């Protein structure tokens, strides 16, 4: 499957910034054009939130972050890009003009997606010389966490463009859904607009406050929708007789005058002020950035829960996350790590992000174990114990660990880990990892591990196959010439 090799984002606001973060964290270089004087700051803040969210979302090895480049012209931004995402303000004349300009200077085979939340792609592609490559790619905020993209073609959009766009979203952890017929506002926003219209009437008529209305959603059907959507939820509501029974029982209610979906509320100054005041009270002083971070943490928790659903197979967006992680692990397993036999293996490069620190700004204890675990995983992939090997029912399990904290890893600090193999036999692998400050080289922590080769199906330790042992022994033989690391064999509380 061919993925996106270089992206261009035209517009770096809330949605454009989310696209930028999604691409960058998938290892894709991104050119940005946005004439807004604060564009760099806005994108930087969105990216910081995205990196914090990803640190909580997955332990799979992300590719090296893509290179972010702010360009002074649109032509410079789209040069060389094979996916161009337009996210300028929602005005037909503006979007049409920008997309037509993109079309004139982009690579002939570049795909051009618009983030519009409701404009018709046929109207957007009207003046383009190559309209067949224009489609709507409508995401949901935050783009770096919510995986759905509505893919909508116009009258002149080619079938090949739709198919290619759907395929290229998969490697960045997103799910494209093809909307079969062109329609204003597509599917998601039409559903949201119906709910929003009724919500405005409920506030207008003083039935409830904005906080009460939000509570009704987030403590009830919002939780159901997060994992099962609308129709499957109602199928269950029909009991053993299923959807047909539900429709027969509750269908007549549609004729009752419960809602005002066909009436448009007058958003006059009084209603705007009422909603604004209640919204300020609901926020309780939290800034937009703080609310975004809370939102991200909640979404990560839901996605993680869904990842473990359905007997561990994953469910809905959680299964998509699980599949995305498996692709990350598989890609990491294909990476070839060369090593200097005169030095320990340098296996993990990372940075201490906001999600990794405690109230003192120092890396929390369990993150040290995570980095050392990632180091062991990187070693195992190097010797052939990759995702396919594990799925076949064999792996190395860590049975003993001793971590020493020698220094302090702090927020924003670049760190890396090294691994020295101390000994190996048919079943055991004895390793010593060290965590370093990348700038100074200072040792911040060390971890000594004993791993056993296990047949997970049989539930017992078994000899590793020759193809694995040969690889690990070649490294161990080289490491036998290294000086034994300080701290090998220490026990807890042992005096220096």
Beta bridge partners of 6: 29
Angle ∠(371,295,353) on CA atoms, nearest 5: 25
Q: What pLDDT, on a 0 to 100 scale, did the predictor assign at position 246? A: 85
> pLDDT tens digit string along 29-64?
999 999 999 999 999 999 999 998 998 888 788 888
Angle at 414 (CA atoms; ends 408, 420), nearest 5 degrees: 80
Per-residue pLDDT tens digits for 112-131: 999 999 999 999 999 999 99
- Burial letters 423-438, b for 16+ CB under 10 A, else e: ebeeeebbbbbbbbbe
Between the two ends of the chain, the Cα-to-Cα distance in Å is: 55
CATH of domain 338-479: 3.10.129.10
Q: Does the annotation flag 12 for ligand binding?
A: yes
pLDDT at 257 (0 to 100): 79
Of 61, 1, 11, 3, nearest to 29 by C-alpha is: 3
Select 190-285's CATH number: 3.10.530.10, 1.10.1040.10, 1.20.140.150, 1.10.760.10. Answer: 1.10.1040.10
* Collapsed DSSP state (helix, strand, coil) of residue 405: strand
Q: 6-186 is classed in which CATH architecture?
A: 3-Layer(aba) Sandwich (3.40)
- On the CB side of 67, CA atoms within 13 Å amount to 6
- Tokens 């919510």, located at residue: 146
What tokens were used for 254?
């549609």
Q: Is 353 known to sit in a ligand binding site? A: no
The confidence score (pLDDT) of residue 482 equals: 93
Give start-end residues of each CATH 3.40.50.720 domain in the chain.
Answer: 6-186
Which ranges in the chain are annotated with CATH 1.10.1040.10? 190-285
Give the residue ranges of the chain where pLDDT is below 70.
1, 333-339
Is 14 annotated in a binding site? The answer is: yes
Question: What distance in Å separates the CA atoms of residue 323 and residue 329, rounded to the nearest whole number?
Answer: 10
Residue limits of CATH 3.10.129.10 in the chain: 338-479
**The predicted structure's pLDDT at residue 412:** 84
Cis peptide before 308 (omega within 30 of 0): no
Q: What are the structure tokens assigned to 139, written together?
A: 């995401």
3-state DSSP assignment of residue 345? strand
Structural tokens at position 367: 């993150």
The pLDDT score that the predictor gives to residue 92 is: 97
């Amino acid at each position: 499957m061919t993925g996106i090799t270089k992206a261009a984002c035209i517009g770096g606001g809330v949605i454009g910034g989310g696209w930028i973060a999604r691409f960058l964290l998938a290892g894709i270089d991104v050119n940005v054009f946005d004439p807004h004087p604060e564009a760099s700051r806005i994108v930087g803040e969105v990216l910081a939130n995205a990196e914090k969210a990803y640190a909580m979302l997955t332990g799979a090895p992300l590719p090296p972050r893509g290179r972010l480049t702010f360009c002074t012209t649109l032509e410079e931004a789209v040069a060389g890009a094979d996916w161009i995402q337009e996210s300028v303000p929602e005005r037909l004349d503006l979007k049409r003009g920008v997309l037509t300009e993109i079309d004139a200077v982009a690579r002939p085979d570049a795909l051009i997606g618009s983030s519009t939340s409701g404009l018709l792609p046929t109207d957007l592609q009207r003046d383009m010389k190559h309209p067949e490559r224009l489609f709507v790619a409508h995401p949901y905020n935050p783009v770096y966490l919510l995986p759905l993209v509505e893919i909508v073609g116009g009258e002149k959009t080619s079938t090949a463009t739709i198919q290619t766009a759907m395929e290229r979203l998969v490697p960045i952890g997103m799910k494209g859904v093809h909307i079969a017929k062109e329609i204003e506002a597509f599917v998601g926003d039409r559903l949201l607009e119906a709910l929003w219209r009724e919500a405005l009437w409920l506030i207008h008529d003083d039935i409830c406050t904005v906080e009460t209305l939000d509570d009704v959603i987030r403590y009830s059907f919002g939780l159901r929708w997060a994992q099962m959507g609308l129709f499957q939820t109602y199928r269950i509501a029909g009991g053993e007789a299923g959807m047909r029974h539900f429709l027969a029982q509750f269908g007549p209610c549609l004729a009752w005058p419960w809602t005002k979906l066909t009436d448009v509320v007058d958003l006059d100054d009084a209603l705007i002020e009422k909603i604004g005041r209640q919204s300020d009270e609901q926020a309780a002083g939290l800034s937009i950035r703080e609310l975004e971070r809370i939102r991200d943490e909640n979404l990560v928790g839901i996605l993680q829960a869904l990842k473990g659903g359905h007997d561990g197979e994953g469910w809905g967006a959680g299964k998509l996350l699980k599949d995305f992680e498996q692709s990350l692990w598989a890609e990491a397993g294909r990476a070839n790590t060369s090593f200097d036999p005169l030095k320990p293996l340098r296996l993990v490069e990372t940075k201490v992000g906001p999600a990794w620190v405690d109230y003192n700004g120092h890396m929390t204890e369990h993150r040290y174990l995570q980095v050392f675990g990632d180091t062991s995983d990187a070693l195992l992939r190097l010797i052939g114990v990759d995702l396919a090997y594990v799925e076949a029912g064999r792996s190395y399990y860590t049975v003993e660990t001793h971590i020493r904290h020698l220094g302090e890893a702090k927020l924003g600090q670049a760190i890396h880990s090294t691994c020295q193999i101390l000994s190996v036999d048919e079943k055991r692998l004895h390793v010593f990892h060290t965590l370093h400050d990348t700038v100074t080289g200072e040792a911040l922590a060390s971890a000594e591990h004993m791993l056993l080769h296990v047949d997970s199906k049989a539930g017992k330790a078994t000899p590793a196959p020759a193809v694995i042992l040969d690889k690990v022994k070649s490294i161990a033989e080289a490491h036998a010439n290294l000086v034994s690391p300080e701290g090998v064999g220490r026990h807890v509380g042992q005096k220096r």
